Amino acid sequence: MTIKRLVPVLMGCLSLVGVAGASSDKIDPLVSARFGRGNEVSVTILCRSQLLDSPGGFARFCAENAARKRSELRTDVVGRLKALAANGEQEAVLKSIGDVAVDRHWIVNALTAELSPRTIEKIAALDEVKYIYVGFSPVTAPGAGRISEVIRPPKREPFRIGDRTVPWNLKGIGVPRVWEKKDNFGDGIVVAMLEHGVDYTHPDLRNNLWVNAGEKPNNGKDDDGNGLIDDYYGYNFRTGSCEVRATTAQQHHGTMTAGIVAGDGTGGTITGVAPRARLMLLSGSGVYAFQYALEQGADVLNMSFSIPYLGNGRGLWRLMAEHTVCAGLVLVSGCGNFQQKAEIPVQIRIPEGIPCIIGAGGVDQEMKVPSFCSLGPVEWASVKFYGDYPLPEGLVKPDVCAFPGAGYPLLGDAGEDYINNRRGNSFSSPHVVGVAALMLSAAPELPAWRIRELLEETANDLPPRGKDPRTGAGLVDAWAAVSAAEAAAHR
Ligand SMILES: [Ca+2]
Ligand SMILES: [Ca+2]
Ligand SMILES: [Ca+2]
C-alpha cells in the first residue's frame, strides 16, 4: 500500500525535472506500439485533475451523495466537470502541441488529437498530463446535412393497449402489469440510443422522438448555439450531420433496439417496454454521446455494442462512465455474443464490463443461457490506475438478464412492420433500458447508480443461487423494479 502511494509521488517529481524514463511511463503501450511507422498517432491525453480518483472515487461519491436528487447532481456534476476541463491543464497541453486540430472534452478532463511520436513524448513530460491513451474516434467537423422528415406535431394520445398484441418477451419480464396497474408507460423519460442510425419514420417510433426544442430543423443554422447545426432528433458525430436515420440493413440494428425501448404498437404489436418514453438518436464515439446526452437532458443511454482490445483504455472508458453516472445518466449495455469466440475474462468487453454500467446478459424462454451469450467474470487488475477485481472472482457480470431472442417481434425496415428472426444481447440491453425508463418515470429523482442496485435487488435469481457470471442477479422484473423505485423515492 505504502509503495503504491509512493510511486505516483516520485513520478510526479521526476517529470517535473524532465526525466525521460518517467514521462514514457505515461504513454500507453498501445500508443507506443504505433510509433516508428512515421505516421501521426491519434491519442487521448488525460489531464491530471479529474472529478473521481481511481478506483475508489466512484463508491465514495455515491455514498456521499446518496440523499441528493438526480436533477441537482446533473447540474452540479456537469458544472464541476466543465470547470475541471477549463482549469488550465488542457491549455498547457495545447501550448505544447502547437497548431493542430484538437477535440477538447469535459466528461473527462482530456483532449484528443493526432500527434507525432515526438510530440507525444514531449507532452508526456508535462506535469499536467496524467496518461496518454489511444485516441477516441475524432469527431467529424460539423456540416450541414438534412433530416429526411420533420415529424410534427407527434400524435400522443393517452396510451392504451387496446387490441394490440403484447409479445411474450414483454410479458416475461412483467411489463404489461406495470402499464395496467401503475399507469406507467415511461412518460417524461428521454432514452438516448447510441447506434448507427434508427428509422425514425417507422410508424411505431415516429410519435416517440425526443426533439431539441432549441433547434429549428433543416434551416442550416445552429439555433441553440451548442456548436451543432440542426441537431433536432440528436446528432451523428461520425458523419458530422444531423441526419440520424438508418438507411442500410446494418444501420437497421438501431431501429430494432429503439423499438424494444419505445415501439408504441401503432402497426399492431407493442414492441416497446416504455411506449411513452422519448428517443434521442446519437451516433459516434461514446465521449460525444455522453456529453450530448447529459447536456440535452437524457435520462438513460442504451449501448448495444462492444469494443475489444482497449487495454488500459478500458480505464479511460471507466472514468468517463463513472463521471456520467454521477451526473445522473443511467448507462446500459448488452453483454455481447462471444461465448464461443473468446476466453473468460475477455468475453464481456467495453462498455458492458465497466462496474457502474448495467451489463445485460440473456436467457431464453426456458431460462437457459443461449450458447452465444458472453459470460463473466471481468477482470480489472491489469488496467492502469484501477487494479481492482482480480481473478479468479473478478467482477461478476452480467448484472442482470433479459431476452436476447430470437422469437419475438422486432421493428422491421421499410415495407415490413415487424420481423422476428434476430437475436443477440443487443436486444437484451434495451429491455433493461426500458425497465429503467419505467423506474425513472415513477421516481425521476433517484440517483442514476440506484437504478442498477434496485434492478439487481429485484431481479428473479436463476441457478446457481446469488449473482453469478452466467445470468447476473437474474431476470429483470419490471413490476418489482418499479415498485422498489417508488418505495426508494418515498423513503
Ligand atoms: Ca444546435
Ligand atoms: Ca437549425
Ligand atoms: Ca444466480
Q: Whose atoms come closest to the Cα of 221: which ligand?
A: 2
Least Cα distance to 136 among 105, 94, 97 occurs for: 105
Q: Range with the lowest mean pLDDT among 131-145, 165-179, 225-239?
A: 131-145
Do residues 442 and 316 touch, judged by C-beta distance below 8 A?
Answer: no
Ligand 2 center from residue 245 Cα (angstroms): 17
Ligand 3 center from residue 475 Cα (angstroms): 9
Q: What is the pLDDT of residues 32-52, one digit of tens each?
A: 999 987 789 999 999 999 999
Kindly state the cell numbers that stand for 147.
433530416
Domains for the chain: give ranges and CATH numbers: 2-49+87-134 (3.30.70), 168-489 (3.40.50.200)
Pure H helices in 137-203: 168-172, 175-182
Q: What backbone torsions phi and psi does residue 443 show, to the nearest 5 degrees? A: -140, 70
- Rounded Cα distance between 186 and 411, Å, is 19
> How buried is residue 155: exposed, middle or buried, by Cβ count under 10 Å (0-12/13-18/19+)?
exposed
Q: How far is CA 78 from CA 71, 88, 108, in A?
A: 11, 18, 10
Q: How far is CA 85 from CA 56, 133, 328, 385, 405, in A?
A: 21, 17, 19, 20, 43
Q: Whose atoms come closest to the Cα of 226: which ligand?
A: 1
Ligand 1 center from residue 223 Cα (angstroms): 6
Q: What is the pLDDT of residues 197-230, one digit of tens each?
A: 999 999 999 999 999 999 999 999 999 999 999 9
Q: How far is CA 319 from CA 107, 110, 325, 387, in A?
A: 9, 11, 10, 13
Ligand 2 center from residue 82 Cα (angstroms): 25
Q: What is the pLDDT of residues 319-335, one digit of tens each?
A: 999 999 999 999 999 99
Ligand 1 center from residue 215 Cα (angstroms): 6
Do residues 223 and 235 touch, judged by C-beta distance below 8 A?
Answer: no
Exposed e or buried b per residue across 183-221, where buried means at least 16 C-beta atoms within 10 angstroms of its C-beta = ebbbbebbbbbbbbbbbbebebbbbbbbbbeebebbeee
Which residues lie at CB < 5 A from ion ligand 1? 215, 222, 224, 226, 228, 231
Ligand 2 center from residue 230 Cα (angstroms): 4
Reported confidence tier of residue 176, pLDDT bands at 50, 70, 90: very high
CA 456 to chain centre: 18
Q: What is the pLDDT of residues 235-255, one digit of tens each?
A: 999 999 999 998 777 778 999
Q: What backbone torsions phi and psi does residue 279 show, to the nearest 5 degrees? A: -105, 125
- Rounded Cα distance between 221 and 146, Å, is 11
Reported confidence tier of residue 269, pLDDT bands at 50, 70, 90: very high
Q: Which residues pair with 191 in a beta bridge?
A: 279, 300
Which stretch of DSSP H or E encloses residue 265? none
Ligand 2 center from residue 232 Cα (angstroms): 8
Q: Comparing 266 with 155, which gets the higher pLDDT?
A: 266
Which residues lie at CB < 5 A from ion ligand 3? 461, 468
Q: Which residues pair with 110 in a beta bridge?
A: 46, 105
Reported confidence tier of residue 414, pLDDT bands at 50, 70, 90: low
Q: Whose atoms come closest to the Cα of 369: which ligand?
A: 3
11: left (phi over 0), alpha (psi -120 to 50) or beta: alpha
Q: Range with the lowest mean pLDDT among 38-42, 258-262, 440-444, 460-464?
A: 38-42
Least Cα distance to 470 among 420, 425, 406 occurs for: 425
Ligand 3 center from residue 143 Cα (angstroms): 49
Give me the mean pLDDT over the 165-188 stretch. Answer: 98
- Given a cut of 90, is residue 161 above it in pLDDT? yes
